[in-house]
Amino acid sequence: MQKYSKNRSFFFGAALLCLMLFGAIAAPLISSFDPNVQTTPSVTRFQSPSAEHWFGVDKFGRDVFSRVLHGGRISLFIAAVVVIGAVVIGGSYGAVAGYFGGWVDALFMRIVDALLAFPVIFLTVTCMALFGNGLFWLVAVLIFTGWMDIARLVRAEVHALKQQPFVIRAHASGIPAVSVIFRHLLPNVLKTLQAAIILRTADIIVIESALSFLGLGVQPPTASWGGIMSDGMSALGDAWWLSVFPGMAIFATTLGLNLVGEGMKRA
């Protein structure tokens, strides 16, 4: 942590990120309201923020503060699973391309270039329209559209590292190529890619929120930040809190991730 000691933006981003993670993890302890169950008619619909309902109430009488907290659990869980999947697939793919080089590298990278030619949102929306909605397909599609950038970064790092003495010694010892890639190269590569992975997590949160906002991601009544924003758009003029608070949650989380990622890149 010493190398970050003078980087105030890094610590501010880390504090924001810890706050959002704490809110998501401790959501059932922080708010006693069920985020998905509609309340009795006695609860005023579109109730503005108050001492009882800090972020107000939506059109179904649900506590928005509770929905934002629980929505964070869904959004952050999806981001974590997608990042892990993208790193595993993209890291393995890029490592093989960078290690073997030649026609293998050329073929693998042309496939990546062809997929990257499509805008991420276009490719994601098209895949969701083809395969349908739901959490499983959302995660699968986000992994499918998210591994290419990781593959390119890993390929470049492996291509540079494979000429290092420790890799040459591993070859001379007769260690199989698979072991060289996964035991010697990838661990060293991932250390240098930590910042890129954190920045990629912020992108995934934004994309997932956009899909849920459009009705292609997490489906109602399950709370997600994008879905909560979408619910409030029809009453934005009269009930601004329905969209503003989940939007602030997305902003705070992605800002924290970007500040941490940029701080790690500069360290």
pLDDT of residue 254: 95
Residue 162 to residue 170: CA distance in whole angstroms: 10
> For the chain, what is the mean pLDDT?
85
pLDDT of residue 17: 92
| Packed helices 194-213 and 135-161: angle between N→C axes, nearest 10 degrees | 160
pLDDT of residue 182: 85
Q: Look at residues 214, 161, 208, 219 and name the one whose alpha carbon lies nearest to residue 185.
A: 161
Beta carbons within 8 Å of 266's beta carbon, 6+ residues apart: 7
Instruction: Compute how many other C-beta atoms are within 10 angstroms of the C-beta atom of residue 14.
Output: 18
Residue 69 to residue 22: CA distance in whole angstroms: 9
Provide the 8-state DSSP code for 219: P
Q: Are 206 and 253 in contact (CB under 8 A)?
A: no
Q: Are 66 and 35 in contact (CB under 8 A)?
A: yes
Between the CA of residue 155 and those of 11, 27, 98, 256, what are the distances in Å? 31, 40, 4, 28
Helix (H, G, I), strand (E, B) or coil at 37: coil
pLDDT of residue 136: 86
Structure tokens at 229: 């924003």
Between the CA of residue 203 and those of 5, 199, 210, what are the distances in Å? 26, 7, 11
pLDDT of residue 2: 58
Beta bridge partners of 57: 63
Q: Are 242 and 175 in contact (CB under 8 A)?
A: no
Q: What does the pLDDT profile of the chain (267 residues) look like in tens digits?
A: 556 656 788 889 999 999 999 999 998 888 878 877 776 555 567 777 788 778 888 888 888 888 999 999 999 999 999 999 999 999 999 999 988 888 999 999 999 999 888 888 888 888 888 887 778 888 998 998 889 999 999 998 888 888 888 888 877 787 888 888 888 888 888 877 888 899 999 999 999 998 888 888 888 788 889 988 888 887 777 778 888 899 999 999 999 999 998 888 776
Structure tokens at 219: 């489906």
Q: Look at residues 228, 193, 196 and name the one whose alpha carbon lies nearest to residue 75.
A: 228
DSSP for 43-77, please give it: SPTTPPP-SSSTT-B-TTS-BHHHHHHHHHHHHHH
pLDDT of residue 190: 80
Between the CA of residue 128 and those of 74, 122, 124, 140, 218, what are the distances in Å? 18, 10, 6, 10, 11
pLDDT of residue 132: 75
**Structural domains in the chain plus CATH codes:** 2-25+64-266 (1.10.3720.10)
Residue 212 to residue 138: CA distance in whole angstroms: 9
